[in-house]
Amino acid sequence: MLHTFFKLSTVALFCSTAVAGAALTNAYAAEAQTERHTVEVTTVADGLNFPWGMAFLPTGEALITEKSGSLRRVGLDGVISNAISGVPDVVYKSQGGLLDVAIDPDFGENSWVYLSYSEADPAGGKGNSTAVARGKLVGNNLQDVEVIFRGAPKYESGAHFGSRLAFSPEGYLFITLGDRYSAMDDAQTLDNHHGKVVRIWPDGSIPEDNPFVGQEGALPEIWSYGHRNVQGAAIHPQTGALWTVEHGPKGGDEINIPVAGHNYGWPLATYGIDYDGSIISDKTHVEGTVQPHYYWLPSIATSNMIFYTGNEFPAWQGDLLVGALKASKVARLDLEGKRVMHEEALFEQVVEQRIRDIEQGPDGAIYLLTDDRNGKFIRISNADD
């Protein structure tokens, strides 16, 4: 798990400055040794304001959200666009703001872009919740914008919005949600969206085979419950199953493979304690709840995750890569089927900011977003001799 060396080399590339589209040359790339590959870590662009989510367009550009409410195109040459118009208003507060972005599986035909964000109460109340809207990307504008999901209830908090978006092979849209921190007990009841994973169709309608359709007192869009703050989601490339990763409290970050209708235990069971050292639950196992597929003690403060399928890193194909905020690293989990055989910490010495998002690019390289006022868009490429 140790990185044995890293070195800096001067490269010419484009990076953002305060002016969109401006270029900066003679930036640095870092080369690092991992267990299976030598990698080059290059800052493609910087100056992003707390970037949170990214999705690659067919053109090769990345759509990147900034938590303050801007959506931008960023080229692999580092050129950053002006803010895309038509983005919904967000509640930019603490952990809230403009969060994830995804493109429709049929984007080439319909141009739909999906955004998750913290939304104020449309009725004028003090509360907020996670919402998801979609719009058609035309040039540098979002058109025909419509809200397809609103978390309920609106709750006055700046914490635990969850907010990853993932499309299943069948075309369902999964939305991951947080427990809103001080409303953690809501994760165990089905009349609200706190601490849930939701499954809808892309237009916001509810699949008839969702597990709680027709159950009195249950919201029919709920897929699974008993989650804390799910900020990572990925679809397994072979099985098509949804995998998620969620923040534990102080200890107990979890990977789960959410099954329809199942309860994942929070806050009845946890491997962590509260931030002040107090006990949330003295149980790690509770009958009727599902144990995490994998967990971390101590926490690494998980962000997003991907299954790596590209050709850039042959020895990582099929591995699960999980971003971490706390240690500014990526955890590489070597999988045999669903079983985690080994964990390696990647990029600790060369990425100096918290890692908020991780994606595989169209070129097979790995791309990272860092969680900072001067956030970076970083490319990880193969430097094997």
Do the domain assignments include residue 13?
no
The reported pTM is 0.93
What CATH number does the domain containing 90 carry? 2.120.10.30
Residue 310: per-residue pLDDT: 98
Nearest partner of 361 among 107, 44, 28, judged by Cα? 44
Residue 313: per-residue pLDDT: 98
Known catalytic residues are 160
Residue 249: per-residue pLDDT: 96
End-to-end CA distance of the chain: 21
Do the domain assignments include residue 345?
yes
Nearest partner of 9 among 34, 42, 51, 33, judged by Cα? 42
Do the domain assignments include residue 91?
yes
Do the domain assignments include residue 176?
yes
Residue 296: per-residue pLDDT: 97
Do the domain assignments include residue 342?
yes
Using only the alpha carbons of the chain, give its radius of gyration: 20
Residue 242: per-residue pLDDT: 98
Asked if residue 383 lies in contact with residue 31, where contact means CB atoms within 8 angstroms, the answer is: yes
Cα separation of 304 and 292, whole Å? 17
Query: Distance of CA 297 to CAs 27, 155, 252, 326, Å?
Result: 36, 30, 6, 13
Structural domain count of the chain: 1
Asked if residue 184 lies in contact with residue 235, where contact means CB atoms within 8 angstroms, the answer is: no
One DSSP character per residue, 169-228 reads TTS-EEEE-B--STTGGGGG-SSS-TTEEEEE-TTS---TTSTTTT-TTS-TTEEEE--S
Regions of the chain where pLDDT drops below 70:
1-28
Residue 23: per-residue pLDDT: 38
Do the domain assignments include residue 5?
no
User: What single-letter DSSP state applies at residue 359?
Assistant: E
At residue 185's C-alpha, the angle toward residues 125 and 229, to 5°, is: 80
Q: Give the CB-side neighbour count of residue 360, counting CA atoms within 13 A.
A: 20
Q: Domain limits at 69?
A: 47-355
Condensed to tens digits (0 to 9), the pLDDT of residues 17-67 reads: 333 543 333 345 789 999 999 999 999 999 999 999 999 999 999 999 999
Do the domain assignments include residue 305?
yes
Residue 69: per-residue pLDDT: 98
Helix, strand, coil content of the chain in percent (nearest 5)? 5, 45, 55
Residue 87: per-residue pLDDT: 98
Do the domain assignments include residue 374?
no
